[in-house]
Structure 1
């Protein structure tokens, strides 16, 4: 089953990475900060718990990923 990146998640990741969007709440903000600090093993653990955030963060580093996140962020489904 494919991982769904919701518009909310896309907006949180865009905001966190300085590409627009809107801010997350305190827990999700702390989670995204932890991801920044995590080594590979701990990032993999975070991805197990929050796979959609992992997928969105991965898009940030991929060609065209920011545009894809912006598209997802503006969707209503």
Structure 2
């Protein structure tokens, strides 16, 4: 298992921003929307399990959920700030 933080692409950042109802994002496709919603509702243990298969998405959602500046950081990645 990697201990490196994955690089979050602008598109993923925009999708997560939209998932959390913030300005500057846009709606992903159905699968990605459901995945991000699942990650948004998941507790830390289930998030860690999902992160094995979807490390970038899990990290972006983790930032939005738990980092005090997570949404702002995602907006900067997305080019929306």
- Normalised to the residue count of structure 2, the TM-score between the two structures is 0.79
Q: Once the 2 structures are TM-superposed, how far is the Cα of residue 53 of structure 1 from its aligned partner?
A: 0.9
Gaps of 5+ in 1: none
Asked if structure 1 preserves the Cα contact closer than 8 Å seen for 2:13 and 2:75, the reply is yes
Runs of 4+ in 1 over 4 A off after TM superposition: none
Number of aligned residue pairs: give it: 75
SS at match of 2:6: coil
Name which structure has the greater RCO, CA cutoff 8 Å, separation 6+.
1
Q: Where does residue 12 of structure 1 map in the other structure?
A: 15
Q: Once the 2 structures are TM-superposed, how far is the Cα of residue 19 of structure 1 from its aligned partner?
A: 1.2
Whole-Å Cα distance in 2 between the matches of residues 22 and 32 of structure 1?
A: 13
Q: Where does residue 71 of structure 1 map in the other structure?
A: 76
Asked if structure 1 preserves the Cα contact closer than 8 Å seen for 2:17 and 2:26, the reply is yes
- Mapping for residues 21-36 of structure 1, pairs under 5 Å: 21-36=25-40
SS at match of 1:24: coil
RMSD of aligned residue pairs (Cα, Å): 1.7
SS at match of 2:21: coil
Gaps of 5+ in 2: none
